Amino acid sequence: MNTCYYYLFVEPLQNEYIDSGNNEPASFAMIKTQSKQYTVSFFKTQNQLYMIRIEIPSVPDETIPESDCDTVQMIKEHVLSVLRLTYDHDVSLFPRPMWNFIKEGEKPSLHVKISEIINPDFDPHVENIRDVFVKTFSLRVQTKLLSDSQDKRLPLQYRYLSLYKSLELEFKKKGKWVNEYKEFLDSFKVDFKNLGVQMKPANYIHCLRDRCAHMTTGKDVIGITQLSNKDMAEVNKFLPLMTKICVSMLDKNYPSKGFSVVGTQTFVQKLKKQNKLS
């Protein structure tokens, strides 16, 4: 049996993170479920909370079980909520958590360095920025919805619902979807098939919408605050295609506006240099 140590890094990031079992946490809490007891440890410097460790016991191999993934996601959501109330209203967690597996009874073993470098191939595309700014000024709502869908600081369900709302604005009249909606989606049948989606495109889009928008997704889970781990993976997988659909829709309906979305380019790249992670 292994213990999985799951690490959340609190921004702003430090250059180096070490957890050898010798650096005691500033505080910890126990979260007990029907099957396990998880330990959540908080690490700080003199004036900064910098790392949170979730200890997952009794992991049979080097794969986090689905039930544990759901609990870890619940803990992550609650940690962030509490930090924004009690620590810093603007605090964020680094979007890439880390974890490792250690034999039960042995000390944790983590030693990583994280650095930021400027992307040398970054192109500001200033003329495109200027053109899109001018041409879409009369379509600020549509532009805002598309923009929110690409903001990884926002909850995933909100990002998806922003794109869904964009479809509603263009294809829903007096509370009903117009015939052109399904005809438009049919042009993406191959894309849906490539993702392994068996449902009709319109039905699948609405199915994910219900998962993101419904208040309750299970007996004790309120969907407005978090998706299940399974639903999160599915929505995240579909989001690029949903974005493609909405961009194509806006290009089609407003051909003179120039909706040009620049892939996944980022100005700052956060690189993780691994010294020791066993």
Confidence of residue 273 (pLDDT cuts 50, 70, 90): very low
The domain locations on the chain are: 2-117+268-277, 126-253
pLDDT in tens, 133-171: 888 888 899 989 999 998 888 889 999 999 999 999 999
Which of 26-30, 249-253, 258-262 is predicted least confidently?
Answer: 258-262
Q: Answer yes or no: are the C-beta atoms of 30 and 39 closer than 8 Å.
A: yes
Given a contact cutoff of 8 angstroms between Cβ atoms, the answer to whether 249 and 184 are in contact is yes
Look at residue 267 in the predicted model and tell me its pLDDT: 44
pLDDT tier for residue 268 given thresholds of 50, 70 and 90: very low
E-only strand ranges, the chain: 2-9, 16-19, 27-32, 37-44, 49-59, 98-103, 110-118, 172-173, 176-177, 268-277
Q: Is the pLDDT of residue 227 over 90?
A: no
pLDDT value at residue 225: 53
* DSSP per residue, 176-224: EE-HHHHHHHHTTHHHHHHTT--S-HHHHHHHHHHHHH-SBSSSS-BTT
Name the DSSP class of 151: -
Of 230 and 163, the structure prediction assigns the larger pLDDT to 163
Rounded to a whole number, what is the distance in angstroms from the first to the last CA of the chain?
15
Region 212-218: mean pLDDT is: 61
Q: pTM score, two decimals?
A: 0.73
Q: What are the pLDDT digits (tens) for 110-135?
A: 999 988 777 787 777 788 788 888 88
Average confidence (pLDDT) over 11-39: 92
| Range in 58-67, 113-122, 147-156, 212-221 the model is least confident about | 212-221
> Could you tell me the two tokens for 5?
């140590």
Residue tagged 């989001």 (tokens):
239
DSSP H/E element including 249: helix 229-253
Q: Are 111 and 276 in contact (CB under 8 A)?
A: yes
Q: Could you say which DSSP state residue 226 is in?
A: -
| Per-chain mean pLDDT for the chain | 85
Tell me which DSSP letter residue 196 carries.
Answer: T
Encoded tokens for 182: 């399904």
